[in-house]
């Protein structure tokens, strides 16, 4: 089926006993077994829950993968990928990624003997040079957060596979509507479902999707053994959210384009980072690799004072961490999402005191632009 149909129907067969069109919330911890040694496919709800299974099947289909596993957060989904490795294994990771991913790698996983090399993954030669004999995973995020740099997934996959390493892509910024890394050669896709996939800013969750039975078996084992599962209620909320993913993303895309071109022409904006603008250094690659450019935009106002004056005067746009909700969310990466990234790294990447990031929602664009215009008057 095509994408919008899969959003609504993949993994979502009507409930067999009553015909309920919506998958029920199976709020149970265990399942009765008809006789010793026989069960109906469900034994204990950490291992398997029908609401979660429906969501896992749905998200696997949307990413063009065979297997999905849902977790209590995007971070626990990421963590599970790295629990497939052992002490002494090496990972090549994007130097500019979600601040929480860097925190997980540098302050948690390194303690257990995993080694990380951070490179600008938009430079394929840098990825190639960073690979070592013990490299097991090349971990990518594209577009990057918050600088919107694009990494060529297919080129990285070719380099990684030649060295016997897997490629994992954090696809949170795009959702499978805009980008499907498995089709580009990635082995694993991870999402914070908290963002565009659920889209309503009312659930925290994550998913790992893969096409390989072997990887899925390892992830499924860890999901049960470690236990950071998505609850039945959250699984239901995300199933509800994902039904409108295609229509939401279409509108996010329209509003994102309109906001980016408004900002690009504003006298108080020094620079706009958005892959949909023709002057973005990787606009052509983005066009080839993505089915649109999304609604994540960063822009430079020149100083922390200016960023503060602007952010203190938005009304309709909510000053908040997170992204991908139906409502427009606006943030200050330096002090919010990327506060855990070392200051010198932030400086090198361009995460400056004057940088503002906006996740354009699906409100009426005139209202959003009027709100931003009004806030600019305070700058």
Q: Which residues bind to ligand PLP, rule: CB under 6 A?
A: 73-75, 98, 100-101, 141, 145, 170, 172-173, 192, 194-195, 204, 206
Query: Which residue, 173 or 299, is less far from ligand PLP as judged by CB?
Result: 173
**Is 195 an active-site residue?**
yes
The active-site residue, picked from 48, 195, 306, 357, is 195
Q: How far is the CB of 71 from ligand PLP (least distance, A)?
A: 9
Query: Which residue, 192 or 211, is less far from ligand PLP as judged by CB?
Result: 192
Q: How far is the CB of 102 from ligand PLP (least distance, A)?
A: 10
Q: How far is the CB of 194 from ligand PLP (least distance, A)?
A: 4
Query: Which residue, 116 or 262, is less far from ligand PLP as judged by CB?
Result: 116
Q: How far is the CB of 172 from ligand PLP (least distance, A)?
A: 4
**Is 118 an active-site residue?**
no
One-letter-per-residue 3-state SS of the chain:
CCHHHHHHHCCCCCCCCCCCCCCCCCCCCECCCCECCECCCCCECCCCCHHHHHHHHHHHHHCCCCEEEEECCHHHHHHHHHCCCCCCCEEEEECCCCHHHHHHHHHHHHHHCCEEEEECCCCHHHHHHHCCCCEEEEEEECCCCCCCCCCCHHHHHHHHHHCCCEEEEECCCCHHHHCCHHHHCCCEEEEECCCCCCCCCCCCCEEEEECCHHHHHHHHHHHHHHCCECCHHHHHHHHHHHCCHHHHHHHHHHHHHHHHHHHHCCCCCCEEECCCCCCCCCHHHHHHHCCCCCCEEEEECCCHHHHHHHHCCCCCCEECCCCCCCCCEEECCCCCCCCCCCHHHHHHHCCCCCEEEEECCCCCHHHHHHHHHHHHCCC
Q: Provide φ and ψ at 298, rounded to 5°.
A: -115, 150
**Is 273 an active-site residue?**
no
Query: Which residue, 199 or 379, is less far from ligand PLP as judged by CB?
Result: 199
The active-site residue, picked from 6, 48, 98, 248, is 98
Query: Which residue, 99 or 232, is less far from ligand PLP as judged by CB?
Result: 99
Query: Which residue, 168 or 204, is less far from ligand PLP as judged by CB?
Result: 204
The active-site residue, picked from 46, 250, 268, 270, is 46
Q: How far is the CB of 9 from ligand PLP (least distance, A)?
A: 25
The answer to whether 239 touches 51, Cβ cutoff 8 Å, is: yes
Q: Which residue is nearest to ligand PLP (CB)?
A: 74
**Is 98 an active-site residue?**
yes
Q: How far is the CB of 77 from ligand PLP (least distance, A)?
A: 8
Residues marked as catalytic: 46, 98, 170, 195
């Amino acid at each position: 089926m095509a994408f919008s149909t899969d959003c609504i129907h993949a993994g979502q067969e009507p409930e067999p006993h009553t015909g309920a069109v919506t998958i029920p919330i199976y709020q149970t911890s265990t399942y009765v077994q008809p006789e010793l040694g026989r069960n109906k496919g469900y034994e204990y709800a950490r291992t398997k829950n029908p609401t979660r299974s429906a969501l896992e099947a749905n998200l696997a289909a949307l990413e063009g993968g065979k297997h999905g596993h849902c977790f209590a957060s995007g971070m626990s989904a990421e963590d599970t990928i790295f629990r497939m490795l052992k002490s002494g294994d090496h990972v090549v990771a994007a130097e500019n990624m979600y601040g929480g991913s860097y925190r997980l790698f540098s302050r948690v996983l390194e303690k257990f003997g995993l080694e990380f090399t951070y490179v600008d993954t938009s430079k394929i030669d840098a990825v190639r040079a960073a690979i070592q004999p013990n490299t097991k995973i090349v971990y990518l995020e594209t577009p990057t957060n918050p600088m919107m740099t694009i990494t060529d997934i297919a080129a990285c996959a070719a380099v990684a596979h030649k060295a016997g390493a897997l490629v994992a892509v954090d696809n949170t910024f795009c959702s499978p509507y805009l980008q499907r890394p498995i089709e580009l050669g990635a082995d694993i896709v991870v999402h914070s479902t908290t963002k565009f996939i659920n889209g309503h800013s009312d659930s925290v969750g994550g998913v790992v999707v893969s096409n390989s039975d072997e990887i899925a078996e390892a992830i499924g084992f860890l999901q049960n053994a470690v236990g950071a599962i998505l609850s039945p209620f959250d699984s239901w909320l995300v199933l509800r959210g994902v039904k409108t993913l295609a229509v939401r993303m279409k509108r996010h895309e329209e509003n994102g384009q309109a906001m980016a071109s408004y900002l690009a022409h504003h006298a108080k904006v020094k620079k706009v980072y958005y892959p949909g603008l023709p002057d973005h250094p990787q606009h052509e690659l983005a066009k080839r690799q993505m089915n649109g450019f999304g609604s994540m935009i960063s822009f430079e106002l020149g100083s922390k004072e200016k960023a503060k004056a602007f952010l203190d005067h938005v009304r309709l746009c909510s000053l908040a961490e997170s992204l991908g909700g139906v409502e427009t969310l606006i943030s200050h990466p330096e002090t919010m999402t990327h506060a855990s990234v070392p200051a010198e790294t932030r400086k090198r990447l361009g995460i400056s005191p004057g940088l503002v990031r906006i996740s354009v929602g699906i409100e009426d664009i005139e209202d959003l632009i009027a709100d931003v215009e009004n806030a600019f008057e305070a700058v």
